[in-house]
Structure 1
């Protein structure tokens, strides 16, 4: 996924896709912890309202080889 940096007033912002927000159960006003890693060009975000995503039905069998 690729997002553009937007200018909002005197700040810059990156939009978080609505589908992702819906999947983790976050909402406007939730606290987000930000862990910048400038040496790697990365930023890690931890959402306070995030919930664990359910496993799909085929998760345990996907990619596994059957014993013969």
Structure 2
């Protein structure tokens, strides 16, 4: 999954918003810590979130498992 975001100004800082679909997929919420690794030579910033590590199950899988019981 990829998205193109704009950099916005918030107070005296710059910020990039995280789309709600990404936040749901990663299981992250406002206020959680994030580790940022900067790679100046490649222009990359790598973000590691402290939220859930397991991706949520699709609703279709959950429904089909409930029917089998």
Match of 1:23 among 22, 25, 28: 25
Aligned residues: CA RMSD: 1.9
Q: Does 1:38 align with 2:33?
A: no
TM-score (structure 2 length as normaliser): 0.72
What stretches of structure 1 move > 6 A for 4+ residues in a row? none
Superposition map of 1:1-68 within 5 A: 1-53=3-55
Flag structure 2 segments of 5+ consecutive residues without an equivalent: 59-69
Task: Please tell me whether Structure 1 or Structure 2 has the larger radius of gyration of its CA atoms.
Answer: 1
Flag structure 1 segments of 5+ consecutive residues without an equivalent: 57-68
Instruction: Count residues with an aligned counterpart.
Output: 57
- Counterpart of 2:62 in structure 1 is none
The structure with the greater share of residues assigned to helix is 2
- How has the CA–CA distance of structure 1 residues 18 and 36 changed in structure 2, closer, same or farther, with 3 Å as cutoff? same
Cα distance in 2 between the residues matched to 1:28 and 1:3: 18
